[in-house]
Amino acid sequence: MAMAVIWAVMVGASILCGAATGQGEAVASAALEGAQAGVELCLAMAGVLCLWMGVMEVMRRAGLVRALSRLLRPLLRRLYPDFAQEEAVMEAVSANLSANVLGLGNAATPLGLEAARRMARRTPGVASDGLCMLVVCNTASVQLIPATVAGLRAAAGCRTPFDILPAVWLASAVSVTAGILAAKLFARIWR
């Protein structure tokens, strides 16, 4: 439903604005060009995306998710003090974060939902501090190698699509930290 509104507003605003600025013809031809560009984009980004997802699948089967979740476990006990003693929750939470870090979105979501369902058992219907933290950590990007974005850049003709990685890591680290700090702060004042 949200998408229908967004799309309708975009198209409506273009037509109105185009008519007002006398760009009606340009808007009409842009519609066809845009559709064409969409197809080209999907084809052009497929190569980078397939290569990365292939490499990451090898890493996953070689046990990288498990190794990383063991590494993250002590850190996560401090982030979720209320659930530190609940082994099933901690396991799902750390596997969820590890899969997110490695960019395995398809694997991360079921693990995160498993953790969310288990956490919700204690406080049915109300988001506990732990559950809010889980959502904040999943709405922030912690992905080390954003393959889709690299694919977009490659599709736009960029020869070094991964040169933005240090900037992505810096921005992600700042943004995740801000989200976690906000959650910890709100947990104290929001009853």
Partner 1 sequence: MALAMAMLTPALMLLAAVWGLYRKVDVWDALTAGAGEGLRVCLRIAPALICLLTAVSMLRASGALELLGGVLEPVLTAVGIPPETVGLLLVRPVSGSAALGVGAELMRTYGPDSLVGRTAAVMLGSTETTFYTVAVYFGAAGIARSRYAIPAALCGDLTGFLAASWAVRLLFGGG
Q: Name the segment binding partner 1 (CB under 8 A); options: 7-15, 68-76, 78-86, 87-95.
A: 7-15
Give residue 127's Cα distance to chain centre. Answer: 21
SS3 of residue 161 by DSSP: coil
Residues of span 127-186 touching partner 1 by CB under 8 A = 127, 131-132, 134-136, 138-141, 143, 145-149, 152-153, 155-158, 160-168, 170-172, 174-180, 182-183, 186
> 187-191 long-range CB contacts below 8 Å, 24 or more apart?
187/129, 187/132
Which 105-124 residues touch partner 1, going by CB under 8 A?
106, 109, 112-113, 116-117, 119-120, 124
Query: Taking the complex as a whole, how short is the minimal distance between the CB of residue 141 and partner 1, in angstroms?
Result: 5
What tokens does 139 get? 């709405």
CB of 91 to partner 1, least distance (A): 17
Minimum separation from the CB atom of position 74 to partner 1 (A)? 23
Give residues 9-68 in contact with partner 1 (rule: CB under 8 A). 10-11, 13-18, 21, 23, 26-27, 29-31, 33-35, 37-39, 41-43, 45-46, 49-63
Q: Which is nearer to partner 1, 58 or 78 (CB)?
A: 58
- 86 phi/psi in degrees, rounded to 5: -95, 100
Of 164, 166, 144, 142, nearest to 153 by C-alpha is: 164
Q: Which residue has the tokens 């340009």?
A: 26
The distance of closest approach from Cβ of residue 60 to partner 1 in the complex, given in angstroms and rounded to an integer, is 8
For the chain, report the end-to-end CA distance as a whole number of angstroms.
32
Nearer residue to partner 1 within complex by CB, 87 or 166: 166
Residue window 62-101: x/- pattern of binding to partner 1, with contact defined by CB under 8 A: xx--------------------------------------
Structure tokens at 98: 């590890």
Query: String of b and e for 26-44 (b: at least 16 CB within 10 Å)?
Result: ebeeeeeeeeeeeeeeeeb
